[in-house]
Amino acid sequence: MSDLYKGWVATLAAHPDWPIDQVRRLFEHWGDVTGEPGDVDYVEADAGGVPALWAIPKGASADHVIQATHGGGYVVGSRYSHRKLFGHIAKATGVRTLILDYRRAPEHLHPAPVEDAVTAYRWLLGQGYQPRNIALTGDSAGGALAVTTLLALRDRGLPLPSASAPLSPWSDLLATGKSNTENEERDHFVKRHLAANLSAVYLGDKGESPARRDPLASPLYADFAGLPPLYIQVGGDEALLDDASRLAEAARAAGVDVTYEVWPEQQHVFQFLAGTAPEADDAVAKLAGWLRARFGLNAAAA
């Protein structure tokens, strides 16, 4: 994981004028470090107008579903770059997983990704899935979406899913956490300048926009009252460590059932190493066990 991230940072520094399509092609290789989960079928889908990809494990529950949102700062990443990561989660949980290709910046600014996640969730309800049998997950910016989607659903009076599992959530676009500086050398990917650039692209601003405190952009500043249980995983060497820890603290203070885990010496979204590293496999297995418990599924049947 470290070598992949170091290579990306060096490549971007060497090509500051690359067009967005070229940058996106670079990040489509995110899944190169992930082992193929096997026994998972992938089927293209249209989730109410949102392009998506089903990850369907062999013998998956027909009644339960996970809605997954990929990371990439709302600018890069796709259902394909994250196919294998969410395929591992789908397989370990034994549940069909819908991987969204929400609209990205700079073509589509905030709150387009949140709107697409809400649209896809409404579509799942329309397909007959019961809210208690739906869970959300996502990584980095997609991890934030796994929380902001809950906020948008709650505020619109829609029934909430049973749970959400954000991985390394990017919860504070103001970057006020101490780990942004204290862990910058240990984190080989999320550098302050990179995060600042992605924030500016997503919000269409120069860094001073009030939208950086908008709970649908920075869920750290949200009112968490009434949200379902959260399970947050983060690597101990991450610049976004405080984004995760403070999100967990704020949600707990609002009465939300929060499980929060720091995985020592791990990089940003280390779960990408599923199928190739025991730490990632263990994290995915714990995540799957937690989701199955929220769904009321028999763990022995996984």
Residues with catalytic function: 140, 238, 268
Are 176 and 243 a contacting pair, CB within 8 Å? no
Query: Which string of b and e fits 188-208 if b means at least 16 CB within 10 Å?
Result: bbbbeebbeebbbbbbebeee
The per-residue DSSP string of the chain comes to -HHHHHHHHHHHHH-TT--HHHHHHHHTTGGGGSPP--SEEEEEEEETTEEEEEEEETT-EEEEEEEEE--STTTS--TTTTHHHHHHHHHHHTEEEEEE----TTTS-TTHHHHHHHHHHHHHHHTT--GGGEEEEEETHHHHHHHHHHHHHHHTTPPPPSEEEEES----TT---THHHHTTTT-SS--HHHHHHHHHHHHTSSS--GGGG-TTT-GGGS--TTPPPEEEEEETT-TTHHHHHHHHHHHHHTT--EEEEEETT--TTGGGGTTT-HHHHHHHHHHHHHHHHHHT--GGG-
Residues 6+ apart with CB under 8 A from 33: 1, 4, 272, 273, 276
